[in-house]
Amino acid sequence: MLNINSVPRRQAGGSWQKRIYSRYGPWAVVTGASSGIGREIAFQLAEAGLNLVLCARSQEILQQIATELTNRYGTEVRVVRLDLAVDTGVETLDKATQDLDVGLLIASAGFGTSGSFLDSQLEQEIEMINVNCRGILGVSWYFGRRFAKRGRGGMVLMSSIVGFQGMPFAAHYAATKAYVQTLAEALYVELAPLGVDVLASAPAPTNSGFANRAGMQMGMAMKPGDVAQPTLSALGRKSTVLPGPLSKLLVYSLSTLPRWARVRIMGGVMEGMTKHQRRENNLGLGKS
Active site residue 173: yes
Angle, nearest 10°, between helix axes 275-285 and 259-273?
Answer: 50
Chain length of the chain: 288
Amino acid at 24: Y
> What whole-number distance in Å separates Cα of residue 148 and Cα of residue 193?
9
Q: Collect all residues with Cβ–Cβ distance below 8 Å to 254 and sequence separation of at least 6.
A: 261, 262, 265, 266
Choose the catalytic residue: 177, 188, 248, 275: 177
SS3 50: coil
DSSP three-state, residue 34: coil
Which candidate in 24, 173, 179, 188 is catalytic? 173
CA 209 to CA 254: how far, in whole Å? 26
Catalytic residues: 173, 177
